[in-house]
Amino acid sequence: MRWLRSLDPQLPREVWLLQLGGVMNSFGNGLVLPFLVIYLHDVRGFGLGVSGLVVAVSAAAQLTAGLVAGPLVDRFGPRTVLGAGLVMQSVGFGLFPLVRSPWHAFALIAIEGAGSAGFWPSQSTLIARLTPPARRHAAYAQQRVTMNLGIGLGGLSGGLIASVAHPSTFTVLFLVDAATFLAYVGVLGLVHDPGIAEEERAETAASYRPVLRDRLFVRLWGLNFLFVTAGYSLFNLVPPFARDHAHLSERQIGAVFFVNTGLIVVVQLPISRAIEGHRRLRALALMPLLWVGAWLLVDAGGYWLDGSAAFVVIMIALAVFGVGECFHGPAHQALVAEIAPDHLRGRYFAVHSLSWGLAGTVGPAVGGFLLASAPFTLWPAAAATCVLAALGSLRTEPLVPERYRRIPRTEPAPPVIDIAPAS
């Protein structure tokens, strides 16, 4: 029982409400994202290179709109910007069944990407405002749990629904995804924004200059760029690689994604608790090192194996990848929240989101063409980049202020004992 109590992230009620909305939202994304390239390539007949560019345009839209999102979050509040971003994402994916030409897909994914540019800095800022500093690493770890729980259930459900032979099944996926964004808007009505101190509010007109002068933040930005380029952004290329080279079915692909996200749900909080008191950047370096093994296993599964054997190996690979993901929230995301001043946190997270957008443009664009021309080169190249990211994490540690170098350790909440009054 003591071990179970130690896993309690001890978060405020409103943070839990945000996590509930995140589960619904990520369930919808899990329905769509693993099958987006398959839909464009196998249902609409677009080439793999073009399909990869569609994914890249979403990231490019995030990159463009992200610079506007930061000041909006700081000026109008994260809750308002988060709601607007959710509506834009709902429109973008909700109209995807109407795609017939590549420009349709590019236009709609640009709307979705612009909404996502507002989503991430506003959600992260709202979590930081609602969570005590000593529990922020746990809040961002829990954010990963809820996101992956939804994506895992969505991916499994999408694998059972999606069928290239029946294009209407993809319509179901997109419409349900659109509905989950709107459901999250409803949850936001139950959450208040505590705001910032009045003396800091007067400084919200500040430019991006203080953010860009922060050497530690710039280094963290560069690391995240590598993480996304060689890790997260290539995740959407695993399904077409597995289908075309390892001959996995849609259901097997859905199961692989479910194992990845299901494992994160199970081990995220224990890992977050285990690394409390340890150095952040050393913990962070473990993530890309685990990804090296994961990508080499994916490559081996498609090159040497087929059918059930490839299914097992690729499932193990994405499970290893998932364990690595568990270090990002408590080690990296929480550190960004700690070093950002309250009145500039929206801008810090907006610039931080640009690393996702820029890397999310480079990764799928380069990866999509490599997948089409030299598919078995893609994964070793990604693994080599992950090695560089691990070394960069270790070299960044001297820049971290001493008070932030270790992940805060807190004692588990004591059990509540209800003692009945004597009769």
pLDDT tens for each residue of 232-285 = 989 889 988 998 999 998 789 888 887 887 898 889 889 988 998 899 999 999
Number of domains in the chain: 1
Q: Would residue 187 count as lying in a domain? A: yes
Q: Would residue 304 count as lying in a domain? A: yes
158 band by pLDDT with thresholds 50, 70 and 90: confident
| Contact of 346 with 70, CB cutoff 8 Å | yes
The two three-digit tokens of residue 363, written as one number: 């990764």
For CA atoms 207, 209, 212, 214, give the dihedral sign: negative
Rounded to whole angstroms, the Cα distance separating 91 from 63 reads 19
146 band by pLDDT with thresholds 50, 70 and 90: confident
On the question of pLDDT at 418 being above 50, the answer is no
Kindly calculate the radius of gyration of the chain based on its CA atoms and give it in whole angstroms: 21
pLDDT tens for each residue of 40-86 = 988 888 888 888 888 878 877 877 787 788 888 888 888 999 999 99
Domain containing 398 — which CATH number?
1.20.1250.20
Q: Which 3-state string (H, E, C) describes the chain? A: CHHHHHCCCCCCHHHHHHHHHHHHHHHHHHHHHHHHHHHHHHHCCCCHHHHHHHHHHHHHHHHHHHHHHHHHHHHHCHHHHHHHHHHHHHHHHHCHHHCCCHHHHHHHHHHHHHHHHHHHHHHHHHHHHHCCHHHHHHHHHHHHHHHHHHHHHHHHHHHHHCCCCCCHHHHHHHHHHHHHHHHHHHHHCCCCCCCCCHHHHCCCCCCCHHHHCCHHHHHHHHHHHHHHHHCHHHHHHHHHHHHHHCCCCHHHHHHHHHHHHHHHHHHHHHHHHHCCCCEHHHHHHHHHHHHHHHHHHHHHHHHHCCHHHHHHHHHHHHHHHHHHHCCHHHHHHHHHHHHCCHHHHHHHHHHHHHHHHHHHHHHHHHHHHHHHHCHHHHHHHHHHHHHHHHHHHHHHHHHCCHHHCECCCCCCCCCCCCCCCCC
Maximum mean pLDDT: which of 29-38, 343-352, 375-384? 375-384
At residue 415, the pLDDT reads 47
Q: Would residue 98 count as lying in a domain? A: yes
Within 10 Å of residue 66's Cβ, how many Cβ atoms?
26
Rounded to whole angstroms, the Cα distance separating 23 from 144 reads 10
The answer to which of 85-99, 179-193, 199-213, 248-262 has the lowest mean pLDDT is 199-213
Q: Would residue 422 count as lying in a domain? A: no
Rounded to whole angstroms, the Cα distance separating 244 from 221 reads 34
Q: Would residue 38 count as lying in a domain? A: yes
Q: Would residue 414 count as lying in a domain? A: no
What torsion, rounded to 10 degrees, do the Cα atoms 356, 359, 362, 363 define? -90
| Contact of 36 with 160, CB cutoff 8 Å | no
Q: Average per-residue pLDDT in the chain? A: 85
Q: Would residue 57 count as lying in a domain? A: yes
Residue 154's nearest CA partner among 175, 173, 172 is: 173
The two three-digit tokens of residue 177, written as one number: 């995804």
Q: Would residue 421 count as lying in a domain? A: no
The two three-digit tokens of residue 356, written as one number: 């996702």
420 band by pLDDT with thresholds 50, 70 and 90: very low
Rounded to whole angstroms, the Cα distance separating 291 from 327 reads 12
Residue 389's nearest CA partner among 329, 328, 334 is: 328
Alpha carbon of residue 35 to chain centroid: 17
Q: How far apart are the first and last CA of the chain?
A: 30
Q: Residue 69: which domain range?
A: 12-404
Indicate the pTM of the whole model. Answer: 0.76
